[in-house]
Amino acid sequence: MSLHAQDVPNAANFLPSPPSSQSYKFKNDSAQYELGKELRTTARGEKARSDMSWQLNTYLSNFSEIMGVELSVKNTPNIYELCNYGMTQATKSIEASQAARFSWRPYARFGEASLITSSEEQYRSTSSYPSAQAVYGWLLGILLSEVNSDRQDQLLKRAYDMGYSSVIAGYNWQSDTEIGRDLASAVLANIHSHNGFLSLVRYAQAEFNKKAGTRASDDPFLYANALPDPTKYLPDPPAEGTAQYEYDVKTYNESKTYRDTSRGDMAVSDADASLENMIRIFSPLLGVTISSSNTPEIYTLLSRIFPVATQSSSEAKEHYNRRRPYVVFDEHTGYPVEEDELRNNGAYPSGHSLLGWLVGLTLSEINPANMESIMSRAYEFGQSRVILGYHWQSDVTTGRYVAGAAFGRLHLESDFLNQLERAIKEFKSTSAIHDAVATSEESEASAPVYTLEGHRLDSRPTRPGIYIRRGKKVIIR
């Protein structure tokens, strides 16, 4: 089941770069670094110290109490093998991402001591982007949630906190942890596509049920009460007066400048979160035309994914009831059509961001070869909500976290797994036919070309740029 490094998700190919020193995001990163330092002498600081080992045994030890079972290679070898495989693939993704983009760690940038001084020299020249601690913690938290759904909220809360421990320790910026969690969910989709991985999950589930004396859950597919509860593992929305809220405000104002550009046009198009629009956007990236007639299994899978996104965020939106940016500032959005409808609807977390990321993860498991193109567009689908003014950046960021958690939970449902297997089989047969037709350079050149927004062009592009042909990015010079 092992893959080469080039076959794993690389954050540099579909997620934002580390923020520049003059950006609002870096100012927020610096503020969070200072807040983290203040916690080092507290109980939370001691917890951060114990978290920072980057060893699988330590992670499993930290999750054992929540699981109610000692997690170790001796006591739970199947769970250990599952987590070790996930961590091995995550390491490849982290290393590829760090090699592509370098960012000084906070303690190195400011010439200050970290919480773990003994490891400073070892990691001083290693990029802080993305946070390995956040990648490992979030990935393992979701994997263990697939094994023990009864404790999924507690597992995800602990997994989230593991990422923040690296901020307290001074080894990562907050933005590194955000990218780390996003990368972790992409790694999750990738490894779920590996031959034999689902068997690892089932063996781990059976082992846990035997150790814990419980039976495997047979909850019906898509029941809301079976999904992780974001209010149990997400932080509260940023409060006014905090650095994070200031970053949200500045990002909102900065994003408004895109509205009269082509990126703004894309944001307006993305406001339509219907199944039909998602199919239009993602079909060229997947590499096949999704429809009820052409790919009925993939179509059915996506149509049943949609209620999961709604159910995953609806209670959290009502619980937090965060006001949207355009409501706070009494301004118009970049898409006034929905202003009255959403004026009293909670903003946190973003349902659009959640939906786009969840669809992207699902399609990436169907066609892992195109994962980075798919996930790049899924990321931008969420960012469109910031540009239009319907969401704060923190709403969109946490929407992706909720999507990753829901995606992991879906893999406990046999109905979902069976439908996914049918969709994968259908994709392979459909794309095989497609590839057989396009064997010559002439047919390749005549293949339909799409913009990154999913719009099909009537002829070969005349302007240089990046386009999509046969589900892959191509550069036209």
Catalytic, 409? Answer: no
Catalytic, 395? Answer: yes
User: How many Cα atoms sit within 13 Å of 49 on the Cβ side?
Assistant: 14
Q: What is the pLDDT of residue 224?
A: 63
pLDDT classification of 454: cutoffs 50, 70, 90: low
Instruction: Kindly report, residue by residue over 289-335, the tens digit of the pLDDT.
Output: 999 888 999 999 999 898 888 889 988 999 999 999 999 999 999 99
Residue type, 398: T
Chain centre distance of CA 152: 17
User: Does residue 389 contact residue 264 with C-beta atoms inside 8 Å?
Assistant: no
Express as a percent the part of the chain with pLDDT over 90: 76
Q: What is the pLDDT of residue 437?
A: 41
pLDDT > 50? residue 4 = no
Q: What is the pLDDT of residue 1?
A: 41
Residue located via tokens 């339909």: 448
pLDDT classification of 384: cutoffs 50, 70, 90: very high
151, 158, 352, 377: which one is catalytic?
A: 352
Catalytic, 319? Answer: no
Q: What is the pLDDT of residue 206?
A: 87
Q: Among 301-310, 342-351, 386-395, where is mean pLDDT lowest?
A: 301-310
Instruction: Kindly report, residue by residue over 150-197, the tens digit of the pLDDT.
Output: 999 999 999 999 999 999 999 999 999 999 999 999 999 999 988 788
105, 202, 385, 400: which one is catalytic?
A: 385
Q: What is the pLDDT of residue 476?
A: 58
Mean pLDDT of the chain, nearest integer? 89
pLDDT > 50? residue 288 = yes
pLDDT classification of 287: cutoffs 50, 70, 90: very high
29, 51, 153, 395: which one is catalytic?
A: 395
Q: What is the pLDDT of residue 12?
A: 93
pLDDT > 80? residue 217 = no
Instruction: Count the residues in the chain.
Output: 477
Catalytic, 202? Answer: no
pLDDT classification of 471: cutoffs 50, 70, 90: low
391, 409, 469, 470: which one is catalytic?
A: 391
Handedness of CA 56, 157, 239, 246 (dihedral sign): positive
pLDDT > 60? residue 3 = no
Instruction: Kindly report, residue by residue over 405-445, the tens digit of the pLDDT.
Output: 999 999 988 889 989 999 999 999 887 554 444 444 444 55
- How many other CB atoms are there within 10 angstroms of residue 465's CB atom? 11
Residue located via tokens 């790919």: 295
- The closest alpha carbon to 283, from 465, 470, 23, belongs to 470
Instruction: Kindly report, residue by residue over 47-95, the tens digit of the pLDDT.
Output: 999 999 889 999 999 999 999 999 999 999 999 999 999 999 999 999 9
